[in-house]
Amino acid sequence: MPGFDEMDVETIWMDGEYVDWEDATVHVLTHALHYGTGIFEGARAYDTEQGTAIFRWDAHLDRLYDSAKPYELDIPFSRAELTEATLELLRRNELDSAYIRPLVYYGYHSLGVSPAECPTETMIATWPWGTYLGEEALQEGVEVTVSSWRKHASSQVPTNVKTTGLYVNSMLAGEEARKQGATEAILLNKEGDVAEGPGENIFLVRDGEIFTPGLAESILEGITRDTVITLAEERGYTVHDEASISRGELYTADELFFTGSAAEVTPIRKVDNVEIGSGSRGPITEELQQAYFDLTEQAADHEEWFTFVD
């Protein structure tokens, strides 16, 4: 995956100010750096036929404010202010399409575990980002391995929201998979049932019906998951969105695919070296992937899902 530099991210928004790349820094005693006490979002702006638009921005903002709740982070900016900052960043950085990363975190005051005295800091960055798992992955599908690391349980930390510190689990699982020659991992939950990918939700197709683990399976409440459920139901599919999926069902599925703002809709062609279905992108995966890309290219349906840069 390519790194980025000041050519890509000339301007970053920090606590109400537009700052240059080299000035977007924090103190090493920042609470979040030591304890992972931040919450964040990952959204995309698409270069649609109607102009550049942030996809499902309202849902991302909803989840950002929800993520703040368990940690008692008081986001000191309104939805309108965060929206205007993001739209302005897209304009200033001259981005037709982009990945968008808002982050809210406990800053520097003291380094006890309690952040009570720490300020809440907020930043937003935007940068160009192509396909997350590679262009070939969208066509051919990815190979994954089931991680030996379990997803943390929702009884241990809130898993439905997006917290920076929790991504050490994702990192361990993803790196383990890549050491085994796979592209990505699948994490089982504490009970041993299927949870999700390190940065993706997972869907399974069997006998023409669609299954995805429910929130009680310790998954992130993915926005692309919701988009794909909606698109599938609109096309007449039955979607079981509170499924409990055992590990064995992965290998015998007709089709499997990941969803995520970064990964979009990515087919899975092998799990632990076992071919899934025909061993390439399955027909229902292809149909839903096409529906997703048509939607984000054309912005012709679901107007309420697009926030345009004017």
Ligand X SMILES: Cc1ncc(COP(=O)(O)O)c(C=O)c1O
Which of 5, 4, 6, 94 shows the shortest CA–CA distance to 45? 94
Q: Name which position in 42, 102, 213, 277 contacts ligand X (CB under 6 A).
A: 42
Nearest approach, Cβ of 132 to ligand X (angstroms)? 9
To the nearest whole angstrom, how small is the minimum distance from the Cβ of residue 174 to ligand X?
10
> Is residue 289 a contact partner of residue 267, using CB atoms and an 8 Å limit?
yes
Contacts of 50 (CB under 8 A, 6+ apart): 298, 299, 300, 306, 308
Nearer to ligand X, 222 or 282 (CB): 222
Length of the chain: 310
Smallest gap, in angstroms, from Cβ of residue 54 to ligand X? 13
Q: Which of 162, 179, 190, 270 is catalytic?
A: 162
Each residue 197-226 as x (binds ligand X by CB under 6 A) or -, in order, gives --xxx------------------x-xxxx-
Dist. CA 87–CA 7, nearest whole Å = 19
158 part of the interface to ligand X, by CB under 6 A: no
Q: Which residue, 55 or 118, has its beta carbon nearer to ligand X?
A: 55
State which residue, 141 or 199, has the beta carbon closest to ligand X: 199
- Judged by CB under 6 A, which of 212, 261, 285, 307 binds ligand X? 261
Binding mask 224-243 for ligand X (x = CB under 6 A): xx------------------
By C-beta, is 61 or 118 nearer to ligand X? 61
How many residues touch ligand X under the rule CB under 6 A: the total is 14
Q: Tell me, yes or no, if 162 is annotated catalytic.
A: yes
Nearest distance from C-beta of residue 220 to ligand X, angstroms: 4
Q: Which residue lies nearer to ligand X by CB, 261 or 289?
A: 261
Q: Pick out residues in 134-153 that bind ligand X (CB under 6 A).
A: none
Q: Minimum Å distance from CB 187 to ligand X?
A: 8
* Closer CB to ligand X, 11 or 289, in the complex: 289
**3-state SS string over 26-46?**
CCCCCHHHHHCCEEECCEEEE
Contact by Cβ (8 Å): 169, 197: no
Q: What is the DSSP letter of 79?
A: H
| Residues 6+ away with beta carbon under 8 Å from 244 | 193, 213, 214, 217
Site for ligand X in 169-188 (CB under 6 A): 170
Task: Copy the structure tokens of residue 92.
Answer: 């200033």
SS3 96: coil
**Phi and psi based region of residue 86 (left: phi greater than 0; alpha: psi -120 to 50; beta: remaining):** alpha
For residues 218 and 158, what is the distance between their CA atoms, to the nearest angstrom?
8
Positions touching ligand X (CB under 6 A) are 42, 170, 196, 199-201, 220, 222-225, 259-261
- Catalytic residues, which ones? 162
